[in-house]
Each structure stands twice: as C-alpha cells, then as structure tokens.
C-alpha cells in the first residue's frame, strides 16, 4: 500500500507544476512517467508458486508445479509433524529472482519490460528431513523459467493505463484539499481525505489482482536433489533429477485450468544394484474463486518403469490470510497400482513471498 504513494507524489508534482490544469498529451507524458517508476510498485499479491526444489523433495504425491508471477523472494514450509505436543517442520524451501534482487529498487518499469524474462527467472533451494532416523537430510536446487505470464502486472498495459486513471482520482482529492486550505497555506490532507485515498488505492489493487490472477501462463523448471546413504551425511550423491512444464488457461475472472507434465529419474542410494528409474506424470488442476481465496480439484496419473500406474484424485484451496502469507491445503486419495489399494493423503503448506 505504501508504495502507491510514490505514484501519488509523482503525479502531484506534475500537476501542481502546471497550475492544476490539464495539458494536451498528458496521457503519454503520464505513461512515460509511470514507466520510470520502480517496477515493484506494479507487482501484484498473487499466490506464491511452488519452488521446483521444494516440489522435488516433497513427499506429497501431487507432481504439478504451481505457477504464478515472479517474486523477489519467497519461502515455503511444509510436511508438518510432531509428537508430545511439539510441532516439527520437515521441509523448507526458498526461491528468488537473482536479477530482481540485484536491481532492487533501481529497476524501473521500462527496464523490467525490456528484459522481463530475465527478471522472471528464479532459483530455488530446499531441504527435507526424513522421518526415518536411518536416512540423512536431503537437499535440492532448481531453476524456473516463465516464458509466458499474462498475469504479470508489470507487463500489463491495461494496468498501467488504469494506474493513470487512479492517480487522477487521487489528484481530485488533493485539489479539494487545496481549495479547503487556500492557495498559500501548506497543503496537508485531513484524516477523512487520507481515508478516501487509501480506499481508492485498495479497491484498485484488489480489482486488478482479481482480474489478472488466472491469466495465461507457461513455465518450465528443472531441479536435482542429493542425499547420502547414511545418517552421518557422508558420501553425498545425486539421487533424483526432474523437469516440469505447466500451462495455465483462464476462464473468465473466476477460473483457471492448469495442465502439468513432470518427468523424474530417481535412484535408491541404499541399493547400489538399482540404477535410475524414470517416472512420468500428467496432471490437471482446476481453480475456482478469486485471487485471495480459491478452491481446486486435481487429477493425476503417474507411470513408472515396470510398475503399474498410480492415480491421484485431490482437492484443496489457497487462502491469502495475512499480508503476503498464503495457506495452501489439500487432501485426496492415491490409488497405488502395484498394491491395488488407495491411500489417504493430506498436505498443508505455508508460503510467503514479496
């Protein structure tokens, strides 16, 4: 919210310098002014995506890699457990965009638009502690590329245009404040006028997020994990490599269909006689709702070498319950082809991104 006051001040400077009179060509001048502002002003508070490294180590059977807009930095927590009233955390991950972190506040909207694919490239790292004392902690690293992201407000012309409109509305509030205090006295808005500005900004931001959260998106990612064959952490070897592709298609402003492919090659380090075995998964997930809260249903089929296919039927939701913190929960049934039995599976994740 605070970042939008930068836009307000920039517009006020232009308008007051022109004696509060509209000038021809002001729309193009305003657009150029906006493109010179820090790009992070225009980033939306969308769902925090799954980090590839996190997904690789996850014990939950869902293989789809949830896409979303690029965050400077994001954290994921999952696989909660515990005993004797003590909660323990088994999985932890971070994902970040090196280019966004390096440029930081110095990255203008125009610079972002010139090389947005670089700024949407993200690296991730994760660790997972096994529930079995005989196994060492596993670690993974990954990289994600966003080739298409129509939800990215920083590349959205409509968003920039609407930002111009919103600034005009806020300027009207300041014009009224100027008339109230007179032409000579220092301009200072009262609590009621400040409340009006906050309400205008809040409504604008939420409306744009609800319109763009489910837009078309295409991402690719790869990750690799390593572990040791003993609990002392010695003789570390790569035990799994995986790749993902996820495409998202919108339905109005209320729904989104995700289609995901995953291929993984994994080796059991406790059994040297076994080599790497390949698994492929096809997943579909459909979201219904709005940006800050939505539900989903998911279906998945997984095929492994010389093993009968597994099937997953899964459902859950995403809730933005506090600032940039998201709660993701899911539950379903996984049918194991080799045993011809179905298992109940559940998962809860906390995600934070900015």
| Owning domain of residue 193 | 4-35+155-210
- Are residues 8 and 89 both part of a single domain? no
Whether 108 contacts 115, CB under 8 Å: no
Residue 44 counted as domain residue: no
Is residue 134 helix, strand or coil? coil
Give the model's pLDDT for residue 85.
Answer: 47
120, 177: one domain: no
Which contiguous run of DSSP H or E holds residue 163? helix 157-181
The mean pLDDT value for 119-137 works out to 78
Shared domain check, 334 and 266: yes
Q: How many residues are given for the chain? A: 354
Longest dimension (CA), the chain: 86
What is this structure's pTM?
0.82
Q: Is the pLDDT of residue 15 over 60?
A: no
Q: Using one digit for the tens of pLDDT, what is the confidence trace for 295-335?
A: 999 999 999 877 899 999 999 999 998 888 999 999 999 99
Mean pLDDT of the chain: 82
204-255 tens-digit pLDDT: 778 888 988 999 999 999 999 998 766 555 678 888 999 999 999 999 999 9
Of 182, 210, 238, the residue that ends a domain is 210
**Distance from the Cα of residue 265 to its chain's centroid:** 26
In a domain, 41, yes or no: no
In a domain, 168, yes or no: yes
Which pLDDT value is given to residue 110? 84
Q: Specify the higher pLDDT residue, 81 or 108.
A: 108
Q: What is residue 76's three-state secondary structure?
A: strand
Q: Same domain, yes or no, for 67 and 117? A: yes
Answer whether residue 119 shows pLDDT above 70: yes
Residue 50 and residue 284 in contact, taking contact as beta carbons nearer than 8 Å: no
117 domain-assigned:
yes
pLDDT at residue number 172: 82
Q: Are residues 318 and 202 in the same domain?
A: no
The answer to whether the CB of 58 falls within 8 A of the CB of 91 is yes
**Number of domains present in the structure of the chain:** 2
Residues contacting residue 213 through CB under 8 Å, at least 6 positions apart: 44, 46, 47, 151, 256, 290, 291
Q: Distance between CA 148 and CA 208 in Å, rounded?
A: 19
Instruction: Looking at the structure, tell me whether residues 297 and 165 fall in a common domain.
Output: no
In a domain, 144, yes or no: yes
Quick check: 195 and 173 in contact, CB under 8 A?
Answer: no
How far apart, in whole angstroms, are the C-alpha atoms of residue 275 and residue 269?
9
Query: Which of residues 155 and 335 earns the better pLDDT score?
Result: 335
pLDDT of residue 132: 56
- 195, 210, 225 - which closes a domain: 210
Tell me how far apart the terminal alpha carbons of the chain are, to the nearest angstrom: 13
Q: 225 with 134, same domain? A: yes
**Same-domain check for residues 11 and 63:** no
Burial class (CB in 10 A: 0-12, 13-18, 19+), 304: middle
Read off the pLDDT band of 52 (50, 70, 90): very high
Q: For a pLDDT cut of 90, what percent of the chain falls above it?
A: 44
Q: What is the pLDDT of residue 264?
A: 95
DSSP states of 207-271 as a string? HHHHHHTT--EEEEEEEEEEE-SSTT--S-EEEEEEEEEEEEEEETTTEEEEEEEEEEEE--TT-
pLDDT at 273: 64
Q: Is 237 inside any structural domain?
A: yes
Between residues 196 and 225, which one has the greater pLDDT? 225
Tell me which of 71-75, 194-198, 214-218, 235-239 is least confident.
Answer: 194-198
SS3 state at 183: coil
**Which residue in this structure is represented by tokens 């409340």?**
195
At residue 4, the 3 state secondary structure works out as helix
45 domain-assigned: no
Nearest of 144, 3, 7, 161 to residue 69 by alpha carbon: 144
**Better-predicted residue by pLDDT, 291 or 173:** 291
Q: Quick one: 118 and 195 in the same domain?
A: no
- φ, ψ for residue 168, nearest 5 deg: -65, -40
Instruction: Report the pLDDT value the prediction gives residue 136, as an integer from 0 to 100.
Output: 66
Residue 123 shares a structural domain with residue 262: yes
In a domain, residue 40? The reply is no
Integer Cα distance of 164 and 25 in angstroms: 13
Residues 141 and 179 in one domain: no
What is the CATH classification number for the domain harbouring 73?
2.40.160.40
Kindly write down the DSSP assignment for every residue of 189-217, as one continuous string: --HHHHHHHHHHHHHHHHHHHHHHTT--E
Same domain, 178 and 86: no
């Amino acid at each position: 919210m605070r970042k939008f006051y930068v836009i307000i001040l920039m517009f006020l400077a232009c308008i007051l310098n022109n004696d509060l009179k509209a000038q021809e060509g002001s729309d193009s001048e305003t657009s150029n002014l906006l493109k010179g502002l820090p790009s992070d002003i225009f980033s939306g508070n969308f769902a925090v995506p799954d980090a590839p490294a996190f997904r690789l180590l996850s014990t939950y059977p869902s293989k789809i890699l949830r896409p979303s807009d690029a965050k400077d930095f994001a954290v994921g927590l999952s696989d909660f457990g515990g005993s004797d009233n003590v909660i323990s955390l088994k999985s932890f991950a971070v994902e970040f965009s090196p280019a966004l972190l390096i440029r930081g506040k110095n990255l203008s909207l125009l610079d972002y638009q010139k090389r947005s694919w670089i700024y949407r490239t993200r690296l991730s790292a994760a660790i997972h502690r096994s529930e079995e004392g005989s196994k060492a902690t596993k670690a993974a690293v990954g990289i994600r590329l966003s080739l298409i992201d129509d939800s990215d407000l920083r590349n959205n012309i409509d968003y920039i245009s609407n930002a111009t409109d919103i600034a005009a509305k806020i300027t009207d509030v300041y014009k009224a404040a100027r008339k109230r205090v007179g032409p000579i006295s220092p301009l200072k808005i009262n609590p009621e006028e400040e409340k009006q500005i906050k309400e205008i900004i809040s409504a604008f931001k939420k409306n744009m997020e609800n319109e763009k959260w489910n837009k078309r998106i295409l991402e690719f990612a790869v990750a690799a994990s390593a572990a040791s064959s003993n609990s002392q952490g010695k003789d570390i070897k790569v035990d799994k490599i995986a790749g993902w592709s996820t495409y998202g298609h919108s339905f109005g402003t209320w729904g989104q269909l995700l289609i995901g492919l995953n291929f993984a090659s994994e080796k059991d380090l406790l059994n040297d006689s076994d080599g790497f075995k390949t698994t492929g998964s096809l997943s579909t997930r459909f979201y219904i709702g709005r940006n800050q809260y939505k539900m989903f249903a998911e279906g998945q089929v997984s095929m492994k070498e010389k093993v009968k296919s597994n099937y997953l039927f899964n459902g859950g939701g995403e809730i933005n319950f506090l600032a940039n913190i998201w709660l993701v929960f899911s539950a379903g049934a996984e049918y194991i082809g080799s045993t011809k039995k179905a298992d109940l599976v559940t998962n809860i994740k906390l995600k934070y991104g900015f």
